[in-house]
Amino acid sequence: MTNSPPGRVAKRPSPPQLSKPFVPMMQGWKWLVLALWGLLPLFCQAQGLCVSSFGPGSIVSTSAMTSRVLVVMRTSFVLTGTTSCGVRPTAMTALGGLTTITKNGVTVDFSKVKFRNRGSVPSGCAVQGDGSLMFSYQCNPGNSANGQTVTFDVEYLLEGTSTTSANIELFTPQLSAFADGSQISNFSTSSLFPGINVPKSTAPTCSTALNPTFVNLGNIRPSELSGGVGSFTASGQKTLSLTMTCLANALTQATTFTPSFKFTKLLNSGAFDIALSDGVDPGFGFRVLDPQGTPIKSGAALTNATFAFNTPASVQSISNNFTVQYAKTQTTLNPGAISATIAITISFP
């Protein structure tokens, strides 16, 4: 299928007024001439096809450079045996002459695309312009290229600094094959080629770490938790460390982050909450103390355990330690092991 613009029709002088019986015949003749004229570009271009089909494409490498990313797509096409066959990005010959596309701070310039042969060349043919935009297979008359598959790489240079960390498509590669410059036969292949995304932003960020991720308290005897409901013990308690790190220039100004601990299941015990077992409650659960030793309530902002970054221009890491203890949830204790889930959220103004 071809996408070349139709030819222009020169204006004819207005015919003289004819008598009524001849009008239908004259209109039919005019329609026939215009119809044939409109088909002429198709007949001419069909003679210039040099590719019978494109193969599927695949991304073979993505190389990051300073403010640039080189994406290499490998594909192929089947030659028809003409003496010349070139290939170029469709965006240079379609879409209103569009040569660049920009999204989320990244630009691809199709005039900077490079082609490189990556397979065997048919007998009687040679590669011209390898490593450049002016790429083609040149064959001698009577060559054996008809039906032969040639493989090549298309190198796209993505320039700029990405402003997104989401998966956003920058463009879908499309190529056009042509026998010569005056007869360009376009093969739109967006259904065959994978889309190329905007590189994800590598801007510095802040991150958190919990050590350990799973806190295993030591074993205790029932006598060590002999008080009433809501009582607790230091026996078997363990400490967990919550650390927050911000890379250099991750923050535009000094910022204070505040954590909160939310229990999936809880028992209210006045000034604090007890995290209950995810399964059956055997009569005991867990309570958490902030770095100042104050027991916390589920979901409350922990103003005694903030992460205050006052020098955002340099790397900074802050840690806060929390204590996890056993606490009684029922009058009667049953022996066994339990687990409870606590979600930690970091918020900022």
pLDDT digit string (tens) for 12-71?
A: 444 444 333 433 333 443 333 333 333 333 333 334 578 888 898 999 988 876 678 999
Task: Give the pLDDT confidence of 85-139 residue by residue, as tens digits.
Answer: 999 887 655 444 568 999 999 999 999 999 999 999 999 999 999 999 999 999 9
Element containing residue 42 per DSSP (H, E): helix 23-46
Q: How many CB atoms lie within 10 A of CB 276?
A: 21
347 DSSP 8-state letter: E
Higher pLDDT, 65 or 332: 332
132 DSSP 8-state letter: B
2, pLDDT greater than 60? no
Alpha helix (H) residue ranges in 149-291: none
Query: Which of 152-156, 264-268, 290-294, 313-317 comes out lowest in average pLDDT?
Result: 313-317
Q: What gap in Å lies between CA 46 and CA 260, rounded to an integer?
A: 70
Q: Could you tell me which residues come within 8 angstroms of residue 216 by beta carbon, excluding any fewer than 6 positions away?
A: 238
Residue type, 325: Q
Sign of CA dihedral 282, 286, 287, 292: positive
The two structure tokens encoding residue 234? 């230091």
Chain centroid to CA 219: how far? 48
181 confidence band (pLDDT: 50, 70, 90): low
Q: What gap in Å lies between CA 191 and CA 279, rounded to an integer?
A: 51
Q: Strand pairing of 169-171 and 114-117?
A: unpaired
Across 336-345, b (16+ Cβ under 10 Å) vs e yields eebebebeee
Q: What gap in Å lies between CA 338 and CA 278, rounded to an integer?
A: 8
Cα angle 33, 34, 36; round to 5? 65
Q: What gap in Å lies between CA 346 and CA 307, rounded to an integer?
A: 9
Closest CA to 339 of 208, 211, 213, 209: 213
Would you state the pLDDT for residue 186?
55
pTM here is: 0.51
Q: Return the percentage of the chain with pLDDT > 90, whole number.
A: 57
Higher pLDDT, 326 or 249: 326
Higher pLDDT, 165 or 83: 83
Cα-Cα end-to-end distance for the chain: 58
Task: Give the pLDDT confidence of 218-261 residue by residue, as tens digits.
Answer: 999 999 999 999 999 999 999 999 999 998 888 888 999 999 99
Q: What gap in Å lies between CA 292 and CA 228, rounded to an integer?
A: 25
C-alpha neighbours within 13 Å on the C-beta side of residue 75? 25
What is the overall mean pLDDT for the chain? 82
Q: What gap in Å lies between CA 153 and CA 272, rounded to an integer?
A: 65
8, pLDDT greater than 80? no
Q: Return the percentage of the chain with pLDDT > 70, whole number.
A: 80
188 confidence band (pLDDT: 50, 70, 90): low
Would you state the pLDDT for residue 39?
33
Higher pLDDT, 331 or 25: 331
